[in-house]
Structure 1
Protein backbone atom coordinates (compact mmCIF):
# COMPACT_ATOMS: atom_id res chain seq x y z
CA UNK A 1 0.00 0.00 0.00
CA UNK A 2 1.17 3.56 -0.66
CA UNK A 3 1.53 5.87 2.36
CA UNK A 4 2.23 9.60 2.40
CA UNK A 5 4.25 11.23 5.18
CA UNK A 6 3.72 14.96 5.65
CA UNK A 7 6.08 17.03 7.82
CA UNK A 8 5.25 20.30 9.51
CA UNK A 9 6.72 22.66 12.04
CA UNK A 10 5.45 25.99 13.30
CA UNK A 11 6.54 27.75 10.11
CA UNK A 12 6.14 25.25 7.24
CA UNK A 13 4.04 22.34 6.05
CA UNK A 14 5.55 19.91 3.56
CA UNK A 15 3.06 17.64 1.79
CA UNK A 16 4.33 14.31 0.50
CA UNK A 17 3.11 14.11 -3.10
CA UNK A 18 4.95 10.92 -4.06
CA UNK A 19 4.34 8.57 -1.16
CA UNK A 20 6.16 5.36 -0.38
CA UNK A 21 5.13 1.73 -0.82
CA UNK A 22 5.14 -0.06 2.52
CA UNK A 23 3.69 -3.41 3.61
CA UNK A 24 1.44 -2.11 6.38
CA UNK A 25 0.60 0.70 8.78
CA UNK A 26 3.19 -0.42 11.32
CA UNK A 27 5.91 0.02 8.70
CA UNK A 28 4.47 3.46 7.83
CA UNK A 29 4.55 4.47 11.50
CA UNK A 30 8.19 3.41 11.78
CA UNK A 31 9.04 5.34 8.60
CA UNK A 32 7.30 8.48 9.89
CA UNK A 33 9.31 8.34 13.11
CA UNK A 34 12.55 7.82 11.17
CA UNK A 35 11.73 10.79 8.94
CA UNK A 36 10.92 13.12 11.83
CA UNK A 37 14.14 12.18 13.63
CA UNK A 38 16.15 12.83 10.47
CA UNK A 39 14.48 16.20 9.82
CA UNK A 40 14.93 17.38 13.43
CA UNK A 41 18.73 17.26 13.14
CA UNK A 42 18.62 20.28 10.85
CA UNK A 43 15.33 21.90 11.85
CA UNK A 44 16.13 22.41 15.54
CA UNK A 45 19.56 24.03 15.10
CA UNK A 46 19.54 27.48 16.70
CA UNK A 47 16.01 27.24 18.04
CA UNK A 48 15.26 27.29 21.74
CA UNK A 49 11.82 25.77 21.35
CA UNK A 50 10.06 24.05 18.48
CA UNK A 51 8.00 21.07 17.45
CA UNK A 52 7.85 18.84 14.41
CA UNK A 53 4.94 16.69 13.34
CA UNK A 54 4.95 13.76 10.92
CA UNK A 55 1.53 12.67 9.70
CA UNK A 56 0.82 9.49 7.75
CA UNK A 57 -1.95 9.52 5.14
CA UNK A 58 -3.31 6.69 3.02
CA UNK A 59 -4.00 6.81 -0.71
CA UNK A 60 -7.44 8.36 -0.18
CA UNK A 61 -5.97 11.14 1.99
CA UNK A 62 -7.25 9.73 5.28
CA UNK A 63 -5.07 10.53 8.29
CA UNK A 64 -3.82 7.31 9.92
CA UNK A 65 -1.08 8.29 12.36
CA UNK A 66 0.66 11.34 13.77
CA UNK A 67 3.97 11.61 15.62
CA UNK A 68 5.03 14.85 17.30
CA UNK A 69 8.53 15.72 18.49
CA UNK A 70 8.96 18.62 20.92
CA UNK A 71 12.15 20.49 21.75
CA UNK A 72 12.56 22.85 24.67
CA UNK A 73 16.07 24.02 25.56
CA UNK A 74 16.95 25.95 28.70
CA UNK A 75 20.04 27.91 29.53
CA UNK A 76 21.05 27.16 33.10
CA UNK A 77 23.31 29.28 35.22
Structure 2
Protein backbone atom coordinates (compact mmCIF):
# COMPACT_ATOMS: atom_id res chain seq x y z
CA UNK A 1 0.00 0.00 0.00
CA UNK A 2 1.29 3.50 -0.73
CA UNK A 3 2.32 5.74 2.16
CA UNK A 4 1.11 9.33 2.46
CA UNK A 5 2.42 12.11 4.68
CA UNK A 6 0.35 14.86 6.32
CA UNK A 7 2.24 18.04 7.16
CA UNK A 8 0.21 20.17 9.56
CA UNK A 9 0.32 23.97 9.74
CA UNK A 10 -1.17 25.16 13.03
CA UNK A 11 0.73 28.31 13.88
CA UNK A 12 3.88 26.30 13.23
CA UNK A 13 4.79 23.65 10.70
CA UNK A 14 4.58 20.10 12.01
CA UNK A 15 6.07 17.84 9.32
CA UNK A 16 5.01 14.21 9.11
CA UNK A 17 8.16 12.10 8.94
CA UNK A 18 6.41 8.75 9.42
CA UNK A 19 3.39 8.76 7.11
CA UNK A 20 0.40 6.44 6.98
CA UNK A 21 -0.50 3.75 4.48
CA UNK A 22 -3.74 4.08 2.52
CA UNK A 23 -5.12 2.06 -0.39
CA UNK A 24 -4.97 5.13 -2.67
CA UNK A 25 -4.71 8.92 -2.77
CA UNK A 26 -8.48 9.36 -2.51
CA UNK A 27 -8.60 7.49 0.82
CA UNK A 28 -5.66 9.56 2.10
CA UNK A 29 -7.42 12.77 0.99
CA UNK A 30 -10.53 11.79 2.94
CA UNK A 31 -8.40 11.22 6.05
CA UNK A 32 -6.70 14.60 5.62
CA UNK A 33 -10.07 16.35 5.56
CA UNK A 34 -11.34 14.40 8.59
CA UNK A 35 -8.41 15.40 10.82
CA UNK A 36 -8.78 19.17 10.34
CA UNK A 37 -11.72 19.73 12.75
CA UNK A 38 -10.03 17.66 15.46
CA UNK A 39 -6.85 19.72 15.20
CA UNK A 40 -8.79 23.02 15.19
CA UNK A 41 -10.69 22.05 18.36
CA UNK A 42 -7.53 21.27 20.32
CA UNK A 43 -6.80 24.01 22.86
CA UNK A 44 -9.41 26.32 21.32
CA UNK A 45 -9.51 29.46 23.48
CA UNK A 46 -12.77 31.27 24.05
CA UNK A 47 -13.34 34.12 21.64
CA UNK A 48 -10.51 33.04 19.39
CA UNK A 49 -10.26 31.68 15.92
CA UNK A 50 -7.87 29.09 14.60
CA UNK A 51 -6.74 28.26 11.14
CA UNK A 52 -5.22 24.87 10.47
CA UNK A 53 -4.00 23.41 7.22
CA UNK A 54 -2.80 20.05 6.01
CA UNK A 55 -0.54 19.32 3.07
CA UNK A 56 -0.63 15.73 1.82
CA UNK A 57 2.51 14.33 0.20
CA UNK A 58 3.34 11.02 -1.41
CA UNK A 59 6.42 8.87 -0.76
CA UNK A 60 8.52 10.94 -3.17
CA UNK A 61 7.67 14.17 -1.34
CA UNK A 62 5.38 15.39 -4.10
CA UNK A 63 2.56 17.57 -2.74
CA UNK A 64 -0.75 16.04 -3.84
CA UNK A 65 -3.49 17.78 -1.87
CA UNK A 66 -3.96 20.71 0.49
CA UNK A 67 -6.88 21.69 2.70
CA UNK A 68 -7.43 24.32 5.39
CA UNK A 69 -10.08 25.11 7.97
CA UNK A 70 -10.86 28.25 9.98
CA UNK A 71 -12.76 27.75 13.24
CA UNK A 72 -14.12 30.82 15.04
CA UNK A 73 -15.90 30.66 18.38
CA UNK A 74 -17.18 33.36 20.71
CA UNK A 75 -19.77 33.76 23.44
CA UNK A 76 -22.67 36.01 22.45
CA UNK A 77 -23.91 36.34 26.04
CA UNK A 78 -22.27 37.20 29.36
CA UNK A 79 -21.11 33.89 30.82
CA UNK A 80 -19.56 35.29 34.00
Question: TM class by shorter-chain length?
Answer: 0.7 to 0.9
TM-score (norm 1): 0.83
Which secondary structure state, in structure 2, belongs to the residue aligned with residue 65 of structure 1? Answer: strand
Matched-pair contact (CA < 8 Å) for 2:40–2:50: no
Matched-pair contact (CA < 8 Å) for 2:51–2:69: yes
Larger Rg: 1 or 2?
2
2:4 matched residue in structure 1: 3
How large is the Cα RMSD of the aligned pairs?
1.7
Matched-pair contact (CA < 8 Å) for 2:51–2:68: yes
TM-score (norm 2): 0.80
Matched-pair contact (CA < 8 Å) for 1:7–1:36: no
Distance 2:31 2:76 in 1: 35
Q: Deviations for 1:11-43, whole angstroms, at most 9, x for unmatched residues?
A: 211111100110111101111112212212214
Equivalent residues in 2 for 1:35-46 (5 A)?
A: 35-43=35-43, 45-46=44-45
